[in-house]
Amino acid sequence: MSRSLYGRTGWFKSTRSSETQTCVEVRFDETDVLVRDSKYLRQSANEPDQQPIIRVPKSCWNGFLQLALSKGSGAVALSQVGHDVLTVVVMLGGGVTVTSSGQQVELRFTEAEWDSFVVGILEDEFICATAS
């Protein structure tokens, strides 16, 4: 069942994530898809303007989604020159780490958070119109 959220503005998460559940959050801008971890803002000591965010060029977004769907570890080049690589590592307990080498950002998700994101991908919630 497709629940496409194309055209949505602002941060959003999979409809499979409950309101209280921390999750993978996504936002589409003109050229990139931004990814962050909602747990960061739930910790009162963290500064919102310092929140770690990974920028994925729209041209690389489908590669990232396919990697997430594989449920395995792997990498996607985020630049033509190879200076930025997005790495997904599936941990032993099921959690996932997403790291951008060029942006020097690491996001950590629990198994439940990542699973909700993957279900959202399967239901076409994260389709980006200009992604190739």
Query: In this predicted model, what pLDDT tens digit does every residue of 80-132 receive, in sequence order?
Result: 666 899 999 999 988 999 999 999 999 999 998 999 999 999 999 999 866 44
Its domain, for residue 108, covers 24-122
From CA 78, how far away is CA 59, in angstroms rounded? 9
pLDDT number for residue 62:
95
Average pLDDT, the chain: 86
From CA 106, how far away is CA 47, in angstroms rounded? 17
State how many domains the chain has.
1
Query: In this predicted model, what pLDDT tens digit does every residue of 4-57 receive, in sequence order?
Result: 445 567 888 888 776 656 789 999 998 999 999 988 888 888 888 889 999 999
Q: Is residue 57 part of a domain?
A: yes
Q: Is residue 16 part of a domain?
A: no
pLDDT number for residue 42:
80
pLDDT number for residue 5:
47
The overall pTM is greater than 0.95: no
Q: Is residue 63 part of a domain?
A: yes
Q: Is residue 130 part of a domain?
A: no
